[in-house]
Amino acid sequence: MAVEPITGAEIIVKALIDQGVDVIFGYPGGAVLPLYDALFKQNRIKHILVRHEQAAVHAAEGYARSTGKVGVVLVTSGPGATNAVTGLTDALMDSIPIVCLTGQVPTHLIGNDAFQEADTTGITRPCTKHNYLVKSIEELSRKVHEAFHVAKSGRPGPVVIDLPKDVQQAKYEYVNHAGQKHRSYNPPVRPDRAQVEKAVEAMAHAKRPLFYIGGGCVNSGVQACALLVDFIRMTGFPCTQTLMGLGAFPGSDPLSLGMVGMHGMYESNLAMHDCDVMINIGARFDDRVTGKLAAFSPGSKKIHVDIDPSSINKNIRVDIPVVGDVGHVVEEMMRIWKARQVKPDAKALSAWWDQINKWRARDCLRYRASDQVIKPQYALQRLYAAIKDKDFYITTEVGQHQMWAAQFLKFEQPNRWMTSGGLGTMGYGLPAAYGVQVAHPESLVIDVAGEASIMMNIQEMSTVVQYRLPVKIFIMNNKWMGMVRQWQELLHGGRYSESYSDALPDFVKLADAFGATGLRAEKVGDLDGVIAKMLATPGPVIVDVAVDEKENCFPMIPSGAAHNEMLLGPEDQTAKPISEEGMVLV
Amino acid sequence: MSDRSSTKGGTELFAVSKEDGTERHTISVLVDNEAGVLARVIGLFSGRGYNIESLTVAETDVSKHLSRITVVTSGTPMIIEQIKNQLRRLVPVHKVTDLTVEGPSLEREMALVKVQGSGEKRVESMRIADIFRAHVVDATIESFVFEMTGSTEKVNAFINLMQPLGLIDVSRTGVVAIARGPEA
């Protein structure tokens, strides 16, 4: 095969094209100049210039989470790479497939404390699924292709490829290594049939079953989710979702109990506590979901489906582990269910639903309505009413607004809800939103934000305006780091140490300064008009909604408490003080 | 790492089942011999708060670029299972074997033990070295360096006996282990 030698930078671009990459989020610098030069000379891959490398990773996460494809990031050495660390950690915690190319000083300078040198592979080892330092041009193509395979297969995650400048400039022949089998890394996707049989057996005899589905379902893909929805409907069992699993099952389906966990629905948490068979599909028994481990769902037989064996028996001991990809497992479950003509215990199931409907009747999201001040919950209800029939995607920042968004917005499909679940990264929402918008230029993309979080990556307004990305930023401005304030109220005697958002900018003028549109809603009567105007405005919009400064997020399982010790509203908060051991937890 | 050369309680430290419900396991990890692989394994242990009681690593198959890492660790059964699953998740890891549970296995350590002394103590150290089949690999008029191989318990016992006889320095390899029988 006589192939013309090309530069390392050109090899990388070719490999990216062969991997189907059509967009890169990045920021140039000295150590990636050859790569930027190679990008300049082609027109297959679009480059989105971010304003901070952290945002590049979040944007790639938004792109990846909304498409199911790998998100690609390109940053320079040293500060470029270290700035990306938060984004990489975020992607690792939420299992988002990312390939992050980082520049590195030339190989002969590595270890010399050269200008803009950092030990990128050392720094990113604990915050990536895997990383590579490519020390010679001969291994470059293989490693780039391998990085994509690692990022998207098994439990997805971020992969860093550190690229010394001399490797980008050296010349070699390009060989397409896509699809090559890895010699040690081959994660299983097909489950052990005997385990699936056991799981179906347990489900067939359940009297109080509950599906508990998570982000793994979304990662398994649209078809896997569709299969899962069919299967859950076939069983008639109730289904609760984690924060990351919202949309994997239609939020408006009567079988859906909504979100589970610390700020999840009363009926979800009580059902989790009292169920006799729990079917965990693609969730990881995160501490936000389980609450007090010793009191977690004490009487249930637990089935856990996960592609990552290390997620099984990590926090909670389960009875029937099933290792495999959600799509394959559910397909097998369905097949066995049909073959055995399983008829669940209709009487028990109907009694279980009666109980659940009693919990539902508590209407746990109820709040004290007001005509004086915009309640944040009301703002989201009005937003949802205005967008629910549209083709919409939602991202969020982190805090109270995020939990309210998870409670009050409903998702009928997977890949529509992008939020920082595991790491809880303030500043995630805006870059993630334009990452989504790049992938879905015609769709409505809204970042539900808080005024504190949005300030963490506000510079990205510039990116949004540069590429005319019509992202809508819906700031629920309560002038506080609301979740911090809520915890200070709950745990620290209302001593609001440093949680007030002082010296806030005028967000309307700020939007204007960036070349976007700014709108404001101060009174309850303004809200619908402002939302309508936001939706009617073609370009990027910042909406500053002045919401109730004192509102807290309920229902809530206080830290250290069990699912059946939920606080439903401010009245419960004073009645049930937090335990000493709960105070230590985050 | 625990203090391996401590003279007291050495044997208890390495008991398989401990009073607090933790167990000692010897785990063998076959990895690609590539840059950073040891840092990945060690970083996994430190990052997740697992114990390393001993760790050895060397290339075992030059043509295939494979190295074997032998880790002696302790934890509750749930933690031990986690450790194995976390290790299997690392991309350059080929195989993880828990030698403590997967059939009979052999464990060996080598120690270099320096003893200083004269007269009766010097003679006694030679006599004990003989019982333990330790070799003298360095000698001066006032010192010996013994090389001895055996189980962790045997090495501990030898070191304990050398203590009153003028023990001044110890260097140990940590445990290497392999399954008994014909299978790899």
Q: Which residues of B touch A133 (CB under 8 A)?
A: 35-36
Name which of A92, A184, A186 to mutate to probe chain B: the one with the most chain B Cβ atoms within 10 A of its Cβ.
A184
Burial B50-72 (b: 16+ CB within 10 A, else e): bbbbbbbbeeeeeeeebbbbbbb
Report helix angle A53-67 to A429-439, nearest 10: 50
A53 catalytically annotated: yes
Closest listed residue to residue B147, CA positions, set B108, B107, B113: B113
Name the token pair of A89.
């950690």
The number of CA neighbours under 13 Å toward the Cβ of A91 is 39
CA distance A56 to A62: 10
Name which of B48, B50, B91 to mutate to probe chain A: the one with the most chain A Cβ atoms within 10 A of its Cβ.
B91
Burial A412-435 (b: 16+ CB within 10 A, else e): ebbbbbbbbbbbbbbbbbbbbbbb
How many CB atoms are located within 10 Å of the residue A371 CB?
9
| Contact between A184 and B92 using a beta-carbon 8 Å cutoff | yes
Compare CB distances from A313 to B40, B81, B89 and report the shortest one's residue: B81
Question: How far are the Cα atoms of A36, A272, B149 from residue A57, in angstroms, in the given order?
Answer: 18, 35, 52
> What does DSSP say about strands A541-546 and A472-477: parallel, antiparallel, or unpaired?
parallel
Q: Is the pLDDT of residue A1 over 60?
A: no
∠ CA B77-A422-A439 to the nearest 5 degrees? 135
Q: Going edge to edge, which strands form the sheet with A392-396?
A: A417-418, A392-396, A444-450, A472-477, A541-546, A517-521
pLDDT average, residue stretch A568-585: 79
Cα dihedral across residues A340, A341, A345, A350: positive or negative: positive
| Contact between A313 and B78 using a beta-carbon 8 Å cutoff | yes
Give A572's pLDDT tier (boundaries 50, 70, 90). Answer: confident
* Alpha carbon of A143: minimum distance to chain B alpha carbons (Å): 13
Report helix angle B152-162 to B120-131, nearest 10: 170
Place of tokens 């992008």: A418
How many CB atoms are located within 10 Å of the residue A536 CB?
8
| Residue A162 burial (10 A CB sphere; 0-12, 13-18, 19+) | buried
**CB-based contacts of A503, cutoff 8 Å, min separation 6:** none
pTM: 0.95
**pLDDT over 70 for what percent of chain A?**
100
A332 catalytically annotated: no
> pLDDT digits over A372-402, tens only?
999 999 999 999 999 999 999 999 999 999 9
Q: Which of A152, A165, A292, A472 is catalytic?
A: A165
Mean pLDDT for chain B overall = 90
CA distance A62 to A417: 9
3-state secondary structure B70-115: EEEEEECHHHHHHHHHHHHHCCCEEEEEECCCCCCEEEEEEEEEEE
Distance of CA A523 to the CA centre of its chain: 32
Q: What is the pLDDT of residue A139?
A: 97
φ, ψ of residue B58 in degrees (nearest 5): -165, 155
CA distance A435 to A71: 9
CA distance A577 to B1: 41
Compare CB distances from A309 to B85, B90, B94 and report the shortest one's residue: B85
Q: What is the pLDDT of residue B18?
A: 64
Name the token pair of A270.
């009580």
CA distance A102 to A163: 6
Q: What is the pLDDT of residue A579?
A: 78
Q: Which residues of B touch A (CB under 8 A)?
A: 31-32, 35-36, 39-40, 43, 47, 78, 81-82, 85-86, 88-94
Compare CB distances from B85 to A129, A131, A310 and report the shortest one's residue: A310
CA distance A479 to A537: 26
Cis peptide bond prior to A344, omega within 30° of 0:
no
Compare CB distances from B47 to A126, A131, A308 and report the shortest one's residue: A126
Distance of CA B7 to the CA centre of its chain: 16
Q: What ipTM was estimated for this complex?
A: 0.93
> pLDDT digits over A89-148, tens only?
999 999 999 999 999 999 999 999 999 999 999 999 999 999 999 999 999 999 999 999
A115 catalytically annotated: yes
Distance of CA A582 to the CA centre of its chain: 26
CA distance B175 to B169: 19
φ, ψ of residue A245 in degrees (nearest 5): -95, 0
Beta-carbon pairs below 8 A across chains A and B:
43
Closest listed residue to residue A242, CA positions, set A268, A276, A277: A268
Cα dihedral across residues B14, B18, B22, B25: positive or negative: positive
DSSP state of A125: G
> pLDDT digits over A192-207, tens only?
999 999 999 999 999 9
Q: Which of A14, A19, A25, A53 is catalytic?
A: A53
| Contact between B36 and A121 using a beta-carbon 8 Å cutoff | yes
Q: Which of A116, A169, A459, A466 is catalytic?
A: A116
Q: What is the pLDDT of residue A536?
A: 98
CA distance B113 to B148: 8
> pLDDT digits over A489-540, tens only?
999 999 999 999 999 999 999 999 999 999 999 999 999 999 999 999 999 9
Count the helices and strands in chain A (H runs, E runs).
Answer: 24, 20
> pLDDT digits over A198-241, tens only?
999 999 999 999 999 999 999 999 999 999 999 999 999 999 99
| Contact between A125 and B36 using a beta-carbon 8 Å cutoff | yes
Question: How far are the Cα atoms of A23, A147, A274, A423, A470 from residue A179, in angstroms, in the given order?
Answer: 21, 11, 46, 32, 37
Give B40's pLDDT tier (boundaries 50, 70, 90). Answer: very high
Smallest CA–CA distance from A134 into chain B, residue: B35
Q: What is the pLDDT of residue B1?
A: 36
| Contact between A129 and B94 using a beta-carbon 8 Å cutoff | no
Residues 246-275 of A with CB under 8 A from B: none
Give B11's pLDDT tier (boundaries 50, 70, 90). Answer: very low
